[in-house]
Structure 1
Amino acid sequence: MALYGKLEIDVEIRASAKKFHEIIHQKPHHISKVSSDKIQGCELHEDEWGKLDTILYWHYVHDGKDCVAKTITEDVDEENNSLTWKVLEGDLGKSYKSFKMKIQCIPKDKGSVIRYTLEYEKLHEQIPDPHTFLQLCAGIAKDIDAHLMGDTNEGSFVGAKA
C-alpha cells in the first residue's frame, strides 16, 4: 500500500464555473450559509479574502465528527477557475503528513463540472484513503450549486426536472 495518494471526483452542476469559483475563492466564508450541515464556519486567519497565501480556519463535519483545518491558498488560476488549498494543521494532520485540495471549475455548454483533486501522504499504511472526505467535497459542491441556482429544496441534482 502506497503512502502517497491522489483521488479525484467530478461533480456536474448547473451553475457557471465562474460563479462557483467566485464563491470558493473570494467568498469561502459564505459556504457555511449554504452548506451548514457540512461547513460550520470559515474564518479569515491571515491576509485578505481571495488572495494568494491567505490562511483560512475551517470548522466542518466529517464522518459525523466536528473537525477543524487551517489552510493556505497555495495557488489560484483565474483563467482556469481553479485554486489549491494546502492543509497546514487540524484534524486531517492526525492521519496525513501532507494534504492538498485542488478545485477546478470547468465550463460546459450548460453548467459546469467541478473537479476536486486530493493529493496526500498518509502517516502510515493503515490510514485509509480519504474517499469520505472526497464525498464531503462533492456534497458541498451540490449545496453551492443549489444556492447559486436559487433552489430551496436540498437534494436538487443535475438532471433533476424542476
Structure 2
Amino acid sequence: MSLIGTLEADVDISATAQQFFEVMCNEPSQLTSIVPDVFKSVDLLDGLWGALGATSSWTYVLDGVTSTVTLLISAVNPITKSITYGMIEGDLKSQFSTFTVQMDATQKVVGSTVHLTVSYVKLTEDVSTPQALFDKAVQVITELGAYLAQAT
C-alpha cells in the first residue's frame, strides 16, 4: 500500500470559470454564507487573497466533526483559472505530511468544468484515503457553481 496518493474529478458547474475562480481565489470567505453547513470560517492570516504565499485558516465540518486547516496559496494563475492550496498546519497534519488541493476551472459554452486534484502523503499506511473529504469538496464545488449561476 502506497503512502502517496491522488484523487481527481471533473465537476461540471453552471457558473462561469471566472466566477468560480474569483470566489476560490480572491473571496473564499464567501463560502461561509454559500455553504454554511460546511464552512464555519475562512480567514486571511497573512498576505493578500489571491496572492502567491497568502495564508488562510479554514474551519470546516465533515461528518459532524469540526476541523481547522491552515492553507498556503502555492500556485495561482488567473489566465488558466487555476489555484493550488497546500496545507501548512491543522488537523490534517495528524494524518498527512502533505495535502494539496488544486482547482482548474475551464470555460465551456455554457458553464464550466472544474478539475479537482487532491494530492497527499499519508504519515502511515494505517491512514485512510481522504475520500470523504474529497467527496465533500466535489459537493461544495457543485453547490458553489449552482449558487453563482443563480446569482447572475
- Structure-1-length-normalised TM-score: 0.90
Partner of 2:79: 79
Q: Give unmatched runs, 5+ long, in structure 1.
A: 152-162
1:102 is the counterpart of 2:102: yes
Native 8 Å contact 2:100 2:120 kept in 1 = yes
1:105-158 per-residue CA deviation (whole Å, 9 max, x = no partner) reads: 11112111111101110011111111111111111112211211227xxxxxxx
Percent identity at matched positions? 28
Q: Does the residue aligned with 2:143 lie in a helix, a strand or coil?
A: helix
Letter in structure 2 aligned against 1:25: C
1:149 is the counterpart of 2:144: no
Q: Give unmatched runs, 5+ long, in structure 2.
A: none
Partner of 2:52: 52
Partner of 2:2: 2
- Structure-2-length-normalised TM-score: 0.96
User: Distance between the aligned counterparts of 2:21 and 2:48, measured in 1?
Assistant: 17
Letter in structure 2 aligned against 1:11: V
Aligned residues: 151
Q: Does the residue aligned with 1:150 lie in a helix, a strand or coil?
A: helix
Q: Does the residue aligned with 1:23 lie in a helix, a strand or coil?
A: helix
Native 8 Å contact 1:5 1:119 kept in 2 = yes
Q: Does the residue aligned with 1:140 lie in a helix, a strand or coil?
A: helix
Q: How does 1:6-45 map to 2 (within 5 A)?
A: 6-45=6-45
